[in-house]
A and B are shown apart, each in its own frame.
Chain A
């Protein structure tokens, strides 16, 4: 189910689900961690062989994939750790300075 958490900081006693239960799954996608980055991975599509190595090693589930094809990088959640660039066998991802 979807769970509307707008204005949660102002919720009062009794507004929260009993026991602090989170009545949904995976809503952390609504929380953006992209702002943590100091470096940003840049995907060089023409070099990419779609081997999925970056995908299997991404700690933030931030390699966008569909039908076994890489589509790009989810900058809303990518923290810029650089593992994808370090592990890519085709040098298809490069780290560059994050824009201010």
Chain B
């Protein structure tokens, strides 16, 4: 494991001058993932904040080759790039080792891009898919996705007189990807850079497809100050909302153990999107949400136990 000082000597694939909001988690995640690659990378992006902000013609913030196609198809697109690489390598037209990495937001991954992702994972391309999960369609203005936590305010699950934010639980995309039985799947957080780095390195070295789901706070959508981005990610882990684990060749393992998870309310109360939960009358909902976090953790621990080598 390289120290930060060692890592800081490596090539940064993303330059400054992109137009992501101040304090955005996405560019932190991208930098941390790509620092783990020993080989040059080729990147694909789904439509979303990262895409529109990093490649505003005639500027690109990417020092590597990059492709954007559409919203729902970055997995298929990068699988096409990787297939071209395999074909041209076989024909002796390309000889360098390259890594192929796709980035999509939660909207582009959990929702509209799920089919494309599932197909690419099943086909076994040598690619890493990274979902940057900020829990809503932030690029179009904070609409709910299937990654939005239950109870969260978004512009399509507004807090009204009869509805307290999003009524449904999140989809467990990491588990869905793990059940594709691919070599490597993990959940990571930008706050835990060392854990993220180790996971990205494993994912990039895997023989076949890999998937990383990264918690990437959004100051605009979560309604927190821009300097709190890393703290929000860290608290997401410390409350058990975002357990850090990996599934390596079918074996589930928690990589950062949180001995005594803080109440999830401590995380919620720092974010404007959950403000309404603390209004009188919502105590039962808050308890319910804590129950969801607890049962999710239990599910993960049960799978860790059942798949132990």
A interface vs B, CB < 8 Å? 3, 5, 8, 20, 22, 24-33, 36-37, 50-53, 55-62, 65, 67-68, 74, 76-83, 85-87, 95
Contacts and interface: CB of A to CB of B under 8 A. Distances in A.
A30 B18 CA distance: 10
B183 to A, nearest CB: 26
Contacts of B9: 67-68
Contact of B60 (A22, A36, A50, A86): A22
The contact size tier of chain B is 35 or more
A69 to B, nearest CB: 9
A83 B61 CA distance: 20
A95 B18 CA distance: 22
Contacts of B228: 86
Most buried by A among B5, B8, B63, B65: B8
| Consensus secondary structure, chain A interface | loop
A22 B59 CA distance: 7
Instruction: Report, nearest first, the 6 A-B pairs whose CB atoms are least far apart.
Output: A77-B16, A82-B227, A81-B23, A28-B17, A52-B4, A79-B22
Contact of A57 (B7, B56, B190): B190
Contacts, number: 133
Nearest to A11: B58
B27 A57 contact: no
Contacts of A65: 8
Interface in B63-109: 63-65
Given A28-B16, A61-B31, A20 B60 contact: no
Contact of A53 (B4, B15, B59, B229): B4
B7 to A, nearest CB: 7
A17 to B, nearest CB: 9
Contacts of A67: 9
B116 interface: no
A30 B63 CA distance: 13
Given A52-B8, A68-B6, A87-B230, A26 B15 contact: yes
A15 B85 CA distance: 30
